[in-house]
Amino acid sequence: MLREVAERTGTVLLVVVLVSLILGQVFGQPILLAYVDSGSMEPTIDEGDGFLTVPAAVAGPPTEGDVITFRAQEIGEGGLTTHRIVGETSEGYITRGDANPFTDQDGGEPAVTRDQIVAEAVQIGGTVITIPGLGTAIETVQATLFAGVTAVVTAIGVDVDPSPGTVGMWIFGLGLLLFALSFRPGGESELERDVSRSTEETDGVNPRRVAAVLLVLILVPANAAMILPSGQTSLTIDGDEVAEAGGVEPGDPVEAEFNARNDGLITLLLVFEPTDDDVAIEPSTPGLPPGQSTTATVTVPAPEPGVERTVTITENRYLVVLPESVITWLHEIHPFVALGTLNLLIGGGFVGFVGGLLGFSEVRFRDTSRDVPLRVRIKQWLR
């Protein structure tokens, strides 16, 4: 009995780890686990090690000494960075890698604001909880799968983009499939000669509970990927600087730029909206592929000399699981309408996936876990 409990507990933990890693990669948002791919945090976190995380939304206000994962603007040309908070100013947090002799801000990175922080590393007694080699293993598997998918696509001549984002989605789908199959009952067949198994019926699995767990695991990071990076961007136009530039009179159009980046593995639709009617943005609804960034140009009437005008841009992000024109139309009705529709679509799709695979009646199965070799388990899964 203890062995069965231990095996099931181990299976659940493995599933949680795999799903959290897959979702973290797909949505560009650390879910329970993350890893570093540089040595900037050594010896606290070695290059290629993983670590436990808590989403910033539930971690509470960060303080000096916390190790955070944030969306950098300059480090590595933008993207997720894990460093320690070493100070705080009125503009934001001062950060530094434990192995670095200078702060990120000394190197040109702006002070980190609260909305840039996506996760906080779990520390016990001031020690970050790490998983040695986790990141190295993940990157090795990703590189292998990417090479394999590229080779297959090239060989069969299928018109599919074998990009890392596409591979990430395939990994995501495979992970969900294995998650569901791990609860699939194993029938009695020719495999009986390879194992000694009990014919005693054990507890079943309620697919509705599986669907509920999947909904939480899917919808929470999906909404985090859409909501957490969204917000407002403020640009300041200085009338004195405009006048010094020459050739521009007050009221003439002047331009300013700001950047946005997609760190996930799913294409996003960004919707930029100015709070003032006399401000124009181009592009206003860019589609942003995985790992890409975009630059938006804001056009505003030049202020009078001696006057500073602050322009505020509201940004909303949506996962592109519908045509962009449809998402834009839903957003124009109300952002909550767009978010709600996408949640229904994503959630309904995964509920249908579970229902089609397992049905919605409780599945009862016999205990086949005793003395079952791995190769036999795989055969059972693939039946």
Distances (CA, A) of 75 to 71, 72, 288: 9, 6, 20
- What is the DSSP track for 54-69? EEHHHH-S--TT-EEE
State the sign of the Cα–Cα–Cα–Cα dihedral 79, 70, 212, 141.
positive
Helices (H), 228-361: 239-245, 324-333, 335-358
- Could you tell me the CA-to-CA distances from 104 to 49, 99, 121 in Å, in that order? 21, 12, 18
pTM over 0.75: no
Per DSSP, the residues of 36-95 read: -SSSTTTTTS-TT-EEEEEEHHHH-S--TT-EEEEEESSGGGSEEEEEEEEEEETTEEEE
Strand order in the sheet with 280-282: 253-261, 293-301, 280-282
Q: Which of 323, 314, 320 is nearest to 289 (CA)?
A: 320
Q: Where are the alpha helices (DSSP H) in 61-205?
A: 134-156, 164-181
Q: Please state the domain extents for the chain.
A: 51-128, 231-334
CB 299 within 8 A of CB 248: no
Distance CA 330, CA 137 (A): 41
Measured between alpha carbons, how far is 122 from 68 in angstroms, rounded to an integer? 9
Q: What is the pLDDT of residue 345?
A: 81
Task: Tell me the CA distances in angstroms from 20 to 16, 133, 172, 183, 255, one per residue in order.
Answer: 6, 17, 10, 18, 42
Per-residue pLDDT in tens (0 to 9) along the chain, 383 residues:
566 666 666 666 666 666 666 666 656 667 778 888 889 999 999 998 989 888 887 788 899 999 999 988 888 777 789 999 999 998 899 999 999 999 999 988 999 998 888 889 988 878 898 888 887 877 776 666 666 656 655 565 555 454 444 444 444 455 544 544 444 444 444 444 444 444 444 455 566 666 677 677 777 777 777 887 778 888 888 888 888 877 788 888 888 888 888 876 678 899 999 988 888 999 989 888 877 788 899 999 988 888 888 888 999 999 887 788 888 999 999 999 999 888 888 777 666 665 655 555 555 545 544 555 554 554 455 45
> What CATH class does 231-334 carry?
mainly beta
Listed in sequence order, the DSSP H helices in 262-365 are 324-333, 335-358
Helices (H), 157-287: 164-181, 207-227, 239-245
Give the pLDDT of residue 95: 96
Any residues with CB less than 8 A from the CB of 181 and at least 6 apart, and which? 357, 381
Report the SS3 class of residue 269.
Answer: strand
Q: What is the DSSP letter of 115?
A: G
**Could you tell me the fold of the domain covering 51-128?**
SH3 type barrels. (2.30.30)
